[in-house]
Structure formats: structure tokens, C-alpha cells
Structure 1
């Protein structure tokens, strides 16, 4: 009962703020201040879904009370009608209570951001590089199915195909809320095309997902950077460019580097490398902050350690298993074509359940 009271006290506070925001957004002084207006519009949008659910909930509670009052009516038809209404209304009330609990979970402030995804071939040599290429295709198709743009920031192709490393940006509102569950080690089990004995090989690819860093969040001074220019190279080390257009930028305070050689223009390579560098520096800051809050991270899926094996793709069995939540799906072909929404949705639901459990234990 105490938890329910606390939830409704919180909802009442949010509703009061929602009403205040509606007043502020019609105030001429706020409307004329673009920065302030955008700030209030953003906050209004963030809580509007919660308010819509809360107001539906209050309407159902009122309808339920009215139906229960009719049970004492002298008219038997009215009693019967009220009795028929009570069951469905109670079900709707219970469902909305669960929805409200989830909507009240504090949002990850990074969720709306675009992301930079880094894939690196690990154990398994050529097979690992080929699988990195497969994962890149999977993520590209998934992103494009949601209308998000994909742009390669840097890549190092393997001699046999695929990538030793590929770094790409996914631009779209909410990209981080989906891709953040992909960080970790992805293991593949299959028979390589070069395997004459038909033996299954196991290899791995490491995935890192970084929220895109915006200028307003992260101030990097020019004197904190070292920029090196060199000639691009392809598989096997051969030169692929006759001019020095590849760019490596080093953030001196942290030692973090970013390289881009995909574009022929030095200016474009520098721009892309800087985007990746900013996101890596921001990610390091976030990781350091989270490490200090380790006691508060028990509700997260796994440890968040990128060396942790999170998923296995078994081609002979057509199976994908996510080890964090014990999810197994036997439709690997569709998954590799970008159909990963069910996996991400299951991980998100699990994360919400853990967060809700943590909230209730406070």
C-alpha cells in the first residue's frame, strides 16, 4: 500500500508540473525566448505520455467507483450492468498501474541520442573479420528499417572480406536506446567456407556502442589535440591513396585516438575522426562516472563490461542465444538480415523489470 501511495504522490507532482508547463508555453515572454521555449517543449514532450496514461487511469478509477455504487441500486438491470462493467474496468486499471510504474522509471538521458558503433574482429582470425562484416550488415539493415541513417566513419577491411575493424554512425532519435544493449562480445559458431573437414569454428567480434557527443556537452580545446596526417592503406598494407589524406587525432589528456581514412578529402576525414574522438572521450567520462556508482548498477543487464560474452550465433543450428536474459530464437537467417527488434525489445523489458525492482526496494 505504501508503494502505491508513493507512486500516486509522484504522479500528482508530475501532473502539477505538466499543468505549469502548459501555462508557461502559452506565456508570451517564454514564447519569445527561443532557448527557454525549446527547453519547456522538450520537458513537456517527455512527460506527456505519462500524463496521458495517468489521466486515462483516473477516468477508469472514476468509472469503477460509479459502477460499484450502482451495485446498491434498486433496479436489478442496473445492478447487472454494473456487475458486467466492473471486471473489465478492474483489468484495465491493473494494466494501467503496471504501465504507469514503467513510465515512472527514470529515463536514461542518453536514450534519444544518435550513436557511434565500433566492431572489432577478435579471436578467430579471418572468420572473425567475416563475421564483423555480417554484423555490420545486420545493424545497417536494422537501422535503415527504422529510418535511421548509417555512415561509415572508419574501416579496415580484411584480405578475405569483412572487417578487422569498422566504425560507423547511426543517426536518428532514440538510436542509443536500442543499440546500447549491443555492447559486448558476440560469438559465432559456424563452418568456415575454407574448412574442408566440416568442423565448426568459434570466433568472436567485440561491439562497443558510444552515445554521440554534442558540442554543448563536451568542450575539447584545440591545444588538447594532436593531429597526424598520413597516407591511407588498404588490406595487406597497400596504399589506396596517392595523397596524404588519412587523419589520426589524439586527445592528449586521455590518450584516446580516432582515425579516419575512408574519404579522399583530408577535411572530411578530419571531421569524421573528430566525431568519433568526441564520442570516445564522452564514453570514457560516462564509464568513469558509472564506475563510481557501482553500487547503484545492480539493476543493469550483466556488468556492462565489454569483455563479457553477451550473445552466440550458432549457424549449424540456426540459433541465436542472448546469454544475459536466456533468450533463444531459432530464426538466425532473419536476424542476420536485420530482424533484431524482438531481441532488443526483450532486453529493454528485462531492463525495465530490473529498474522497477530496484525502485521498489529503495
Structure 2
């Protein structure tokens, strides 16, 4: 591990010189690429420097203890030595995690699809609750939310809603949200006070750029039609809604939230590109050895990942056995505790598999 770390530090120092070279600065694309690599390496290099500094402090303390010291001073050195020994073990674990291969999609924006499953209107209402939860979470992290397409119900929920979250590291945090979310509560329309169980599916897709997915225009069938539902004065008066069918895969994407046909087409293409990228990613993941797969980050949208129980005010993530009795704050976007626990378990699994 330490030979690899020394190589990374050496590369980091070379990059540090290169990004200050006027010739490279003039080549903006090359300079930005190097700056990205330099920034990505910085946390690991700084952690390794901290490790080496702590190791030197341990060596110095051991040398001091070999001398004839006064008892009070000797005790202070021993206490400092004990603290640094604990610290260096923690730093070793942190370095192992930082050395794990990075998910190339982690820094990307995401496209989130929420669809009501079993439960009719109640499922649609909970789809609206989840949309608000992720919107509030994005707001807390100063990320931008943009609705790509939506299909509202008359009771205030969504049959489906597709939206983009733009922000640094959005995918690294939200990728664990893909799957089936189950809600247990008494619907407003339920006169007998019985608890109903409904489900909502969530899919989190990394935004795909042109360089990630090449789409041949000849593979697309684009249909335009009149919008329906909310959308201002132009609804039902102009053919602004767009449906794009990707002929080779049969994927269909519809967007009608914008008044402009061009904007709807742009949004629909973004969603299509993300879906095609997800298909390619799924193929790539399948080709990896089972031993290298994480138990947490599979993102299988058929897997029941979480239950929101309203009568008990609890949320349970079934993948890691985590139960929190703070339903209201979680639905208000305070989901970092869940995500942090998922990341920790994911990293632990990857560390086991990397040995």
C-alpha cells in the first residue's frame, strides 16, 4: 500500500509543477484535465502526509522514552504516544478507503425517476412525498432541481415524475436510492382506520454526456403532440409535447412540461441518453466478478430497499438493517444519516473484496 502511496505523491508533485506551466495553462482543455486529476488526488496525498507526520511523532516518542525522563514528563509522552497509536490505525483505514477505485460517475448530475407502484392514489401521493424529500435534500446541499417530465394525479400526487438534480457529487450520494420504497400508513380516504401498504419505485441515473453515449438520429422516432395537464396557457393549444422512441431498444421518453417544443426535445434526449447509459453500465457491472460487487450499491429497482412506517414514525433501510425513528425530518430531506451509513457499509464491503 505504501509503495503505491509514494508513487501517487510523486505524481501529485509532478502535476503541481505542470499546472503552473504557462504552456500547459494556454491549452485549457489539457490544463482542466490535469487540474481535475490534481484535485482528486489532494485528499489522499494530504491524508498520507498526516499519516507520515503521526508516524514520525511515534518514533520520536519511543526515542524519548529510552532516555531517563522525569516521571511527570514521561507520563505525558506515554499519553501522547498512546493517542498517536490510535490515530495511526484510524489513518490507515482512511487511506485504504481513499485508495479504493472511484466510481467514474460519482461527480455527475443525476436524473431521478419516481413512479407510483402498488397502491393507486396512495402510491401516487407517496411519490409526491419522495419528490419533496429529494428536492429538500438537494436544497440543503445547494443543488439545483429541474423537472424533466411529470404526470400528476388529481389528488396532489404523481403517477410519475422525472427530474434532474445538478450539483457536485450528486450521484455519489443519491445512487443508493434506487429501488422500491414501501410506505405503511392510513390513507386520508380510509374511514376504518386501516393501515395500507403501497410502493413507489425510484431510479437514479447518472447524467450522460454526448461523449458517454452516442445516439444516431436515424435510430430515433420523434412525435409531437398537444400537452395535457398543468403547463400554462399553451397547454392543449400547441403541439409542444415531445415523445422520442429509440428504435433499437424500444425505449420511449416523453416530455411535456415546457411550453417550447425545442426545450421538451432537449430534456427528453437527456433522459434517453441517461437510460441508454444505464443499460451499458448494467452490462459492464454484470461482467465484473461477483467478488468485486458491493452488496449495497446494486441499485436494483425491483429490490425493496426501505420502509416508511407512519403509525410508528420510523424509517427502516432493509439493506443495512438501519431503523431511525425520525420519519418527519427524513421526509423533510434530512437523509444524510441514512446515506452516510450506506456509504460506510458499501466501503467496508469493497475493502473486504479488495483483500
TM range (shorter): over 0.9
Equivalent of 2:56 in 59, 62, 76:
62
Distance 2:24 2:153 in 1: 55
Contact 1:72–1:79 under 8 Å retained in 2? no
User: With structure 1 as the length reference, what TM-score do the two structures score?
Assistant: 0.93
Equivalent of 1:53 in 40, 47, 52:
47
Residues 169-213 of structure 1: per-residue CA shift (max 9 Å, x gap)? 000111001110000000000000000100000000000000001
Contact 2:181–2:199 under 8 Å retained in 1? yes
What is the number of residues matched between the two proteins?
351
Distance 1:108 1:331 in 2: 31
Gaps of 5+ in 2: none
Match of 1:4 in 2: none
Query: How far is 1:256 from its partner?
Result: 1.6
Match of 1:230 in 2: 225
Q: Greater shift after overlay, 150-159 or 79-88?
A: 79-88
- Matches of residues 179-258 of structure 1 in structure 2 within 5 Å? 179-234=174-229, 240-258=235-253
Gaps of 5+ in 1: 1-6
Distance 2:3 2:294 in 1: 24
Distance 1:294 1:123 in 2: 34
Equivalent of 2:340 in 340, 345, 353:
345
Residues 294 and 252 (structure 1), Cα distance of their counterparts in 2 relative to 1, 3 Å cut:
farther
Q: Quick check: 1:141 aligned with 2:130?
A: no
Distance 1:263 1:294 in 2: 44
Match of 2:70 in 1: 76
Contact 1:73–1:79 under 8 Å retained in 2? no
Query: How far is 1:290 from its partner?
Result: 1.1
Query: How far is 1:145 from its partner?
Result: 0.6
Match of 2:15 in 1: 21
Distance 2:255 2:298 in 1: 31
Distance 1:82 1:191 in 2: 62
Contact 2:180–2:200 under 8 Å retained in 1? yes
Residues 305-332 of structure 1: per-residue CA shift (max 9 Å, x gap)? 2101000000010010000000000010
Match of 1:44 in 2: 38
SS at match of 2:187: coil
Contact 2:175–2:297 under 8 Å retained in 1? no
CA RMSD between the two structures: 1.6
Match of 1:32 in 2: 26
User: With structure 2 as the length reference, what TM-score do the two structures score?
Assistant: 0.95
Distance 2:74 2:194 in 1: 72
Query: How far is 1:27 from its partner?
Result: 2.6
Equivalent of 2:102 in 93, 107, 128:
107
Match of 1:89 in 2: 84
Match of 1:3 in 2: none
Distance 1:47 1:132 in 2: 39
Distance 1:84 1:126 in 2: 63
Query: How far is 1:289 from its partner?
Result: 1.4
SS at match of 2:301: coil
Residues 46 and 303 (structure 1), Cα distance of their counterparts in 2 relative to 1, 3 Å cut:
closer
